[in-house]
């Protein structure tokens, strides 16, 4: 078995783990990143696409935004569509900020390229990962064929990763909300049908029009949680999208070859605390938000910014205050994001079995948001992201 000594062992090569490695490198701190999947897989894994203003600013500050600024799509608003009509939320006018549409997998590509160019140690297709001795000042990560001896372990390995399980049940508390619907996501080689995102509330269920580039459209449909993707032909999906997205002013949905499709469950999840001894959780390893609020990747990036500052203070200066406050600091933002994401989800989705009273409440809420400057400003401020 090979043994390697590093300051920070990072499990997971998603945006959280890779950005943490980059930020630590800027502070002169060594790290090794372990990833179960192949490089090809993580660079092609389609996930989030909305980059909040604070996230974009951070990527620029640390030298990772050149391609995002060339190829990303800045947006100054988005539409709430209901009653067959668009109601635009002008986020830049209301907040002075923008969002940028730039795929999570593109950020991962940029991060991998930057880490490898700087001599970073990223190990793909690593199996058998386990975490040990986190209550000591010399935690270890073992894996098939090797071991990392660390000062700190960062668990950035997602909801189904091994890191969270290293925190004893007597310490860890979890909170979960499972929604009674799912999202069917479609990636199509088609020019976007609208210049901005469209969040649609329809009597048949929620629909979302988004994009990944001027040539690729990302679309979503609310479906039952037990639906099988095999039962949804491309024609059936397009027919349902046309039905839910149509308007009285003649909106035309552009179709194209389907590149990818799949069904994603909807849940909110939070694990507390996000730190136990020398083990720190970040991103989906600690929390999941329903995707309606576009917060998942941005929350992960906020986590690792807080964590990088805490670890720099600990490892470079021997200071422990930021380490000790890490979990509480992150969880304040996490619960705010949970609240916003739940608000967007319940406002826009049809709950199976709900009475007309519930649907009338949804419609009233949508109309209030579309006509009240205070409600629209609150929505916009949460959507573009809280300052870091």
Query: Which among 46, 362, 369, 379 has a CA at the least distance from the CA of 205?
Result: 362
The residue length of the chain stands at 388
In the sheet where 146-149 sits, what is the strand order?
A: 2-5, 146-149, 140-143, 130-132
Burial class (CB in 10 A: 0-12, 13-18, 19+), 230: exposed
Asked about 326 being catalytic, the answer comes back as no
Name the catalytic one among 15, 291, 326, 349. Answer: 291
CA–CA gap between residue 342 and residue 375 (Å, rounded)? 16
Asked about 368 being catalytic, the answer comes back as no
CA–CA gap between residue 196 and residue 184 (Å, rounded)? 20
Query: Which among 46, 47, 65 has a CA at the least distance from the CA of 56?
Result: 65
Asked about 291 being catalytic, the answer comes back as yes
Q: Let me know the angle formed at the C-alpha of 47 by 45 and 52, rounded to the nearest 5 degrees.
A: 135
Phi, psi of 247 (to 5 degrees): -130, 170
Name the catalytic one among 194, 202, 295, 349. Answer: 295
Name the catalytic one among 22, 75, 209, 276. Answer: 75
Name the catalytic one among 179, 199, 220, 326. Answer: 199
Asked about 180 being catalytic, the answer comes back as no
Query: Which among 373, 361, 360 has a CA at the least distance from the CA of 87?
Result: 373
Asked about 75 being catalytic, the answer comes back as yes
Q: Which amino acids are annotated catalytic? A: 75, 199, 291, 295, 383
């Amino acid at each position: 078995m090979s043994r390697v000594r590093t300051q920070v062992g990072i499990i997971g090569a998603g945006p959280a783990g890779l950005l943490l490695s980059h930020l630590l490198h800027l502070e002169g701190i060594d790290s090794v990143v372990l990833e179960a999947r192949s490089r090809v897989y993580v660079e092609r894994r389609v996930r989030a696409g909305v980059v909040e203003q604070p996230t974009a600013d951070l990527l620029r500050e640390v030298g990772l935004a050149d391609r995002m600024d060339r190829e990303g799509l800045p947006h100054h608003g988005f539409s709430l569509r209901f009653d067959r009509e668009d109601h635009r939320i002008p986020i830049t006018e209301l907040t002075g900020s923008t969002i940028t549409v730039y795929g999570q997998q593109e950020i991962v590509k940029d991060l991998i390229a930057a880490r490898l160019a700087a001599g970073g140690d990223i190990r793909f297709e690593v199996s058998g990962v386990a975490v040990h001795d986190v209550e000591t000042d010399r935690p270890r990560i073992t894996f098939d064929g090797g071991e990392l001896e660390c000062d700190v372990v960062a668990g950035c390995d997602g909801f189904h990763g091994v890191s969270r399980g290293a925190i004893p049940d007597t310490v860890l508390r979890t909170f979960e909300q499972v929604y009674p619907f799912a999202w069917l996501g479609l990636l199509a080689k088609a020019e976007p049908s609208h210049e901005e995102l469209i969040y649609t509330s329809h009597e048949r269920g929620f629909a979302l029009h988004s994009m990944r580039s001027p040539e690729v459209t990302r679309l979503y449909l609310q479906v039952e949680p037990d639906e099988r993707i095999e039962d949804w032909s491309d024609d059936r999906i397009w027919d349902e999208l046309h039905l839910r997205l149509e308007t009285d002013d003649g909106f035309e949905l552009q179709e194209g070859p389907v590149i990818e499709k799949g069904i994603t469950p909807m849940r909110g999840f939070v694990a507390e605390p996000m730190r136990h001894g020398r083990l720190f959780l970040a991103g989906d390893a600690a929390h999941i938000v329903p995707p309606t609020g576009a917060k998942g990747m941005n929350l992960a990036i906020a986590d690792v910014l807080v964590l990088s500052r805490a670890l720099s203070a600990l490892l470079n200066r021997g200071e422990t205050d930021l380490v000790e406050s890490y979990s509480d600091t992150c969880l304040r933002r996490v619960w705010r994001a949970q609240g916003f994401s739940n608000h967007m989800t319940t406002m826009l989705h049809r709950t199976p079995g709900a009475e007309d009273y519930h649907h009338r409440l949804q419609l009233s809420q949508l109309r209030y948001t579309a006509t009240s400057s205070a409600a629209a400003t609150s929505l916009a401020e949460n959507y573009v992201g809280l300052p870091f």
